[in-house]
């Protein structure tokens, strides 16, 4: 028989273990969200921690493997038990060999349909996820990186707009001199009547005017 001191020790020990387990689980949860759950840190994790990260992120469903194992176990159990039961109870034996195997298959198919539906949905979401380098928001981003980004944006000098128009009161630029416009002096030869430019010479036909 346990004494009162034994009961009190067991009760106190249970409380200490419960508090220790709570604090450990809380710390482990916080550390998992910081070091394991972020997708960008997965490639830098060792093999075992990468598997743990996939389990925590539900990258693959453990229920699927459990259901498969139970289905194989149940089917083999019905076949073996039904086969040996035929010699003592043929009705029960054939019932297990036929009805048990088919019933097990139908039940587990219904369960696996739900599991495979969730699994296919997860795979489709991963394929439809944009494969761009757009930076995603990380709720656990450090304050130093935020301050660094703000500092970089503040160091960019503002754009300076230069006014190229002339200031009021400034002297206008001198205009370039224009060449005189050529004006021909047309005349008619008194001998042959040919029109010619007197600035370039006499009659092009060689007539000598008086």
Q: Which of 142, 147, 161, 127 is nearest to 38 (CA)?
A: 142
pLDDT in the model for residue 162? 52
Q: Which of 62, 41, 36, 55 is nearest to 115 (CA)?
A: 62
**Mean pLDDT score of the chain:** 77
Q: 92-143 pLDDT, tens per residue?
A: 999 999 999 999 999 999 999 999 898 888 878 878 865 544 444 444 444 4
Higher-confidence residue of 136 and 175: namely 175
pLDDT in the model for residue 207? 73
Burial of 76 (0-12, 13-18, 19+ CB in 10 A): exposed
Q: Which of 54, 55, 50, 104 is nearest to 77 (CA)?
A: 104
Distance, in Å, from the CA atom of 61 to the CA atom of 123, rounded to the nearest integer, reads 12
Per-residue CA distances from 185 to 39, 84, 129, 195, 197 (Å)? 92, 136, 85, 10, 5
pLDDT in the model for residue 199? 76
Q: Is the pLDDT of residue 156 over 70?
A: no
Mind giving me the DSSP string for 133-181?
-PPPP-TT--HHHHHHHHHHHHTSPPPPPP--SPPTTPPPPPPPPPPPP
CB 45 within 8 A of CB 34: no
Q: List beta partners, residue 186.
A: 197
pLDDT level of residue 70 (50, 70, 90 thresholds): very high
Mind giving me the DSSP string for 25-53?
HHHHHHHIIIIIS-GGGSTTS-HHHHHHH
Per-residue CA distances from 152 to 141, 155, 158 (Å)? 17, 5, 13
**Residue 95 DSSP label:** I
Share of the chain above pLDDT 70, in %: 72
Higher-confidence residue of 116 and 42: namely 116
Q: Is the pLDDT of residue 25 over 70?
A: yes
pLDDT level of residue 12 (50, 70, 90 thresholds): confident
């Amino acid at each position: 028989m346990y004494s009162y001191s034994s009961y009190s020790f067991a009760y106190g020990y249970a409380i200490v273990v419960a508090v220790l387990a709570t604090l450990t689980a809380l710390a482990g949860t916080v550390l998992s969200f910081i070091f394991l759950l972020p997708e960008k840190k997965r490639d830098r994790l060792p093999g075992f921690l990468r598997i743990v990260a996939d389990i925590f992120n539900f990258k693959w469903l453990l229920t699927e493997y459990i259901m498969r194992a139970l289905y194989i176990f149940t089917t083999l159990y019905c076949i073996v038990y039904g086969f040996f039961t035929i010699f003592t109870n043929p009705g029960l034996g054939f019932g297990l060999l036929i009805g048990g195997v088919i019933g097990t298959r139908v039940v587990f198919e219904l369960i696996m349909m739900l599991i495979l539906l969730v699994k296919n949905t997860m795979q489709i979401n991963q394929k439809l996820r944009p494969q761009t380098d757009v930076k995603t928001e990380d709720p656990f981003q450090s304050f130093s990186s935020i301050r660094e980004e703000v500092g970089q944006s503040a160091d960019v000098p503002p754009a300076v707009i230069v006014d190229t128009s002339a200031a009021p009161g400034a002297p206008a630029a001198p205009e370039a001199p224009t060449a005189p416009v050529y004006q021909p002096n047309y005349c008619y030869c008194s001998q042959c009547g040919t029109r010619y430019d007197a600035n370039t010479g006499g009659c092009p036909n060689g007539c000598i005017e008086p």
